[in-house]
Structure 1
Amino acid sequence: MSDAEQTRQKILAVAAEEIHQHGFQATSLSTILNRCGISKGALYYHFTNKLELGYAVFEENYIPVFLGTWQPALSQNDPIEGLCEFFTSMCNSMVCNEAVCGCPLNNLCEEMANVDEGFRLRILSMQEKLNALIVESLERVQGDLRDNLVFSQVAYFIVATFHGATSLTKSSRNKELFQQVITELCLYIRALKK
C-alpha cells in the first residue's frame, strides 16, 4: 500500500471514530487533521470537502462492516437461528460504550438522512442491500417457513426492530432494554417457521 493510500485509510479510520463519538455535523476537520498528524493539503488531496469525507466513511468503513456483521448469520443453513444467534451474541458482547454511543451507522443515518440528499440516497441503497440479503436467506428456506409471508416486509421489520432497539439503548443507556427487545424479536423470527 502506497503512503498516499495509507494516509487516506488513516483519515477514514479517524474520521469514522470522530463521527461515531460526536456525529457528522459536530465532527471537526481540525481534530481529524491533528489526530492524523497531517496538513489540510494532505486531507484535501484525498477529499475535496467534509461531505465527501463523510460519504467515504459511510461507503468504505460503515457499510462493509455493517453488512459483514449480518452476512454470517444469513449464510447459515438455518438463517432463522442464525439471526437469533447473531442478535443474542450482540446482547452478550455489548459494552457500555456501545450502549452510550449507539451503532455508528444507525447514528449517522438518523443524523444525516433528512439533512443531505447524498447521505439519504446512500442510506437507502444500504438498506436495500441489507433487505435483499435477508430476503435471499429467507427464500432459501422458504419451504420451512409459514405460507403467505412477504419476505421484503419481514426483512424490513427485522431491521427496523433491530435499529429501534439500538436507538432505545442509546437514549436510555440501558443494555437490558436492548436485550428485552432482542428477545421479543427472536420470538417473532422463530415464529416465521411452520
Structure 2
Amino acid sequence: MSAFATLGGGCFWCLEAAFRPLRGVLEVTPGYSGGHTLRPTYEEVSTGTTDHAEVVRIAFDPREISYEQLLDVFFAVHDPTTKDRQGYDVGPQYRSIVLYENEAQKDAALRKIKALSGLFKPRIVTEVKPLEHFWPAEPEHHRYYDKYPQDPYCQAVIAPKVGKVVQRFWPLLK
C-alpha cells in the first residue's frame, strides 16, 4: 500500500536526501511541478521562467509514516518564510510549496501551516495548491547526494539537512 506526497522547498537534491532515510518512505523522486511547461528540463526550470518548482515526489506507506509526519520533516529541513529562495539557491524554482493530491492532504498542509505560524517570523509563505503534473527530473539528478557526498554543495547544504533529520527525527529512521 502506498500513497504519495509532492513537496518543494529548495533544491530537490536536498529534499531527496532528507526524506530517503525515513521508515515507510518507499521512493523519493526529484522532479518539477507547479508550472506551465510540458516536460520541462532542468535547464528550462533553472531559468525561473517555467513557473515550475524543484520538488520531490515521495512514495510512502501510510501504515509506517503519515503524511503529517512527512510535513513535520518538510518544515524542519527548509525555511518556509523565504519567498523564492533557500539559502544561496534563488528563484521561483526554489520556492516552498505543497502540492496536494486530495482534500485530506490539503487540509493537513493548511493545519500544519496554521499550527506553525506562531513559531516562524516572518510569516510562512509556503504555497498550497493541487498537484496537476509531476515531471521526473533527468537521471543525473536522482540520488545526487548518494553519488556525490564529497561535492562541496552536498557537504555545505545537503549534509546538514540530513543531519537534522537523523538528529531530530531518529524514531522515524529505517
After TM superposition, the score normalised by the length of structure 1 is 0.26
Q: Which has the higher strand share?
A: 2
Instruction: Tell which structure's C-alpha radius of gyration is larger.
Output: 1
Q: Which has the higher helix share?
A: 1
Instruction: Specify which structure has the bigger relative contact order, considering alpha-carbon pairs within 8 angstroms and separated by 6 or more residues.
Output: 2
